Structure 1
């Protein structure tokens, strides 16, 4: 099992001046601890459940480019880009640029978008859900066409591209992996089965995750795809402390490494390959000693696949 880190909070003391140095250290500490990947949200405003919209929020791909320049191994992605935020051709160019400059470490994380408030706030169109899913499928088709190094036109219902030129091409072959985020069994899972290299689910507990992955396997069968070609990833919340059972400043209960190993092993038993964690204290350099221990202990754990 591989462990990644998602950073979704940038409101550190002395922000905004502290944001660059603090985030840079987080990226370097995550890489040094052996974490496989580093992810940021793609939002204009901070989201409910984390804090008020007025809190600091960075643009995702500028942030990932900054992290790329400070690291050499850790993989980089947005968890996840809303399809409405960028024109598909520009999104393909953006992720390709990140891949080229990072030496082949970029992911495309993408979903149907949901936060209407930030769209309205910055004047970005927010079409109905049905149209957003139509646009999501066309976007997946466009980025794959551009990554196939075809410059043919693309004619879709929502997008019309005269020339899908993408130079330079991505470094990673056959292309940067595509992670489709979302829990919807009808629309999202069918798009994952057809176009995705990875899914991303919320950590609802092992049994509910198992049920979702069984539905995803059915969607793969419908299109003749082996579900083992798709990396099953889960976004979870784990804040480590030496003994566990304490309280983080956020109020959440901390876990020991042993407790976290048990939690992650239970997810592996239902078919989860990779877990991306959010921590209450990613800016605390001392916690990465515990993170490194956790990474090494779960590395041999393999997802139970049929």
Structure 2
């Protein structure tokens, strides 16, 4: 099966009755196909109204331009035998950094003629089909040198988002030479969510940890301010009693949200009650509106960085022996004392944030891990920066995964979750892919230096297929 990048511009090329429209209808949704025949029907008396061809192609060019500009997968269903039009389409795709693929329909001439004779409508005049077959013979030799990203013969096709373009090869590498990778389930929504059952399901699926987003109301990137949203540390304490194995942490606690010494006491208590499973994610805090709504000051970026650096030094001191005094840039704690002390010698601290110069530097200097977001190229770059500061600091990654066993089930999940959002945009934002797609994707992240992936699952039905992804990265206990 041929794999094509999503999104891309697909140009069908071949004589009439070669099977182009049937192929397009089989492998693409109707809104993705721009057909010259359909546009002739729109602008004229029917699909075979040749007097409407000029108008139809003017509209076709406009539609293709608008769709490519929006980076939407578009299939151009025409004969494709006009070299000048092909050059324009290749140039348009290149202008908008979109792959442009030609699909060549090299159907034998006798078969094209037989199909044409069997048509009850839209039959092509014999002399016109003969010209098309002759033009196709010349065009076939030109296609490889016209600048297309690739030229493929007509075959079964599967569209794969650009995120997963290298996934098949990466999945094979994981199968042949497995790498270990830890997975955490990230909970960022609580509306209609049973956190107890979700955490227990995550543990059964093989997740190593459960992380909750630390806010006091829902963030605008995810939902509405009045959507149900649980306080993070209270929720983690509840989950400590509901689970047995998974680590429990925030991703991430805003350093401005709580008195830092009090935060250290909260985390230590969770560690004691969970038997040594607490993780403290810590970040700069960015949600100004949330601060103002709760009556908190929102310090400047410089002040918050100073507070974050003090916190990263104070917390391990607080969890240690004795009651030493701490004097930082902005924090003073006369007695850094916490009893009972955590079960873990040191509660792992994960610093989250996008800043490379300050955030990653602080993570490398004081924390156990840095959590980053972004595409694979961004993760690779941030990993290199982090290793430049401190090779021993672990790299973790926060992402979303809409995962299903096969394309049919994946399509159903996309349609169930997208609401009014464009289908392709929603699928891209959710990293929609099959189990094999995600095995390859996470293998590439492991090769980029990531040791743990924190995953948000947009739909409950993703849990079972995600367990199969996780299994591909777990060590074989018999080894």
Using the TM superposition, give the Cα deviation of residue 150 of structure 1 relative to its aligned residue in structure 2, in angstroms. Answer: 3.2
Equivalent residue for 1:297?
472
Change (3 A) 1:94 1:198: same
In structure 2, the partner of 1:192 is 363
Judging changes above 3 Å, is the alpha-carbon distance between structure 1 residues 236 and 114 closer, same or farther for their aligned structure 2 residues? same
CA displacement at 1:37 relative to structure 2: 0.6
Q: Is 2:405 the partner of 1:230?
A: no
Mapped pair 1:27 → 2:199: yes
Q: What corresponds to 1:113 in structure 2?
A: 285
TM superposition shift of 1:153: 1.2
Quote the RMSD (CA, aligned, Å): 1.5
CA contact under 8 A between 2:261 and 2:336: conserved in structure 1? yes
Correspondence 1:1-306 to 2 at 5 A: 1-12=181-192, 19=193, 22-173=194-345, 175-202=346-373, 204-220=374-390, 227=391, 229-244=392-407, 245-246=410-411, 247=414, 249-251=416-418, 252-253=426-427, 254-281=432-459, 284=460, 286-300=461-475
> 2:472 and 2:342 mapped to 1: Cα distance?
33
Provide the rounded CA distance (Å) in 2 between the counterparts of 1:159 and 1:150.
19
Distance in 1 (alpha carbons) for counterparts of 2:252 and 2:284: 9
Query: For residues 133 and 122 of structure 1, what CA distance do their matches in structure 2 show?
Result: 21
Secondary structure at 1:35's aligned position in 2? coil
Give the Å deviation of 1:160: 1.6
Distance 1:127 1:95 in 2: 24
Residue 56 of structure 1, CA deviation: 1.3
Larger radius of gyration: 2
Q: Does the 8 A contact of 1:249 with 1:280 survive in 2?
A: no
Deviation at 1:248, TM superposition (A): 5.2
Which structure ranks higher in relative contact order (CA pairs < 8 Å, sequence separation ≥ 6)? 1
Q: Which runs of no fewer than 5 residues in structure 2 stay unpaired?
A: 1-180, 419-425
Deviation at 1:157, TM superposition (A): 3.1
Q: Deviations over 1:111-131 (max 9, x none)?
A: 110000010001112100100
**Corresponding residue number in structure 1 for 2:177:** none
TM-score of the pair, normalised by structure 2: 0.57
1:224 aligned residue:
none
Q: Structure 1 unaligned runs (5+)?
A: 13-18, 221-226, 302-306
| Secondary structure at 2:404 match in 1 | coil
| Residue equivalent to 1:16 | none
Distance in 1, Cα, partners of 2:300 & 2:375? 31
Following TM superposition, by how much is the alpha carbon of 1:50 offset from its aligned partner in structure 2, in angstroms? 0.3
Rounded Cα–Cα distance in structure 2 between residues aligned with 1:64 and 1:58: 10
Shift of 1:300: 4.7
- Distance in 2 (CA, whole Å) between partners of 1:56 and 1:249 is 21
CA distance in 2, matches of 1:40, 1:143: 20
Q: Offset of 1:141 from its aligned partner? A: 1.0
Residues in 2 aligned to 1:163 and 1:25: alpha-carbon distance in whole angstroms: 40
Contact 2:319–2:337 (CA under 8 A) maintained in structure 1 = no
Deviation at 1:52, TM superposition (A): 1.5
Aligned partners of 2:363, 2:469: CA distance in 1, in Å? Answer: 29
Divergent runs of 4+, >6 A: none
Q: Please give the alpha-carbon distance, in whole angstroms, between the structure 2 residues aligned to 1:78 and 1:219.
A: 24
CA deviation digits over 1:246-281, x for unaligned, max 9? 115332433211111011011111111111111111
Q: Is the 8 A contact 1:248 1:280 kept in 2?
A: no
Deviation of 1:147 (Å): 1.6
Q: Which TM-score applies when normalising by structure 1?
A: 0.88
Aligned partner of 2:118 in structure 1 is none
- How far apart, in 2, do the equivalents of 1:150 and 1:214 lie? 38
Equivalents in 1 of 2:279, 2:227: separation in Å? 26
CA distance in 2, matches of 1:230, 1:183: 16
SS in 1 for 2:258: coil
Offset of residue 287 of structure 1: 3.8
1:158 deviates by 1.8
How many residue pairs end up in the alignment?
Answer: 281
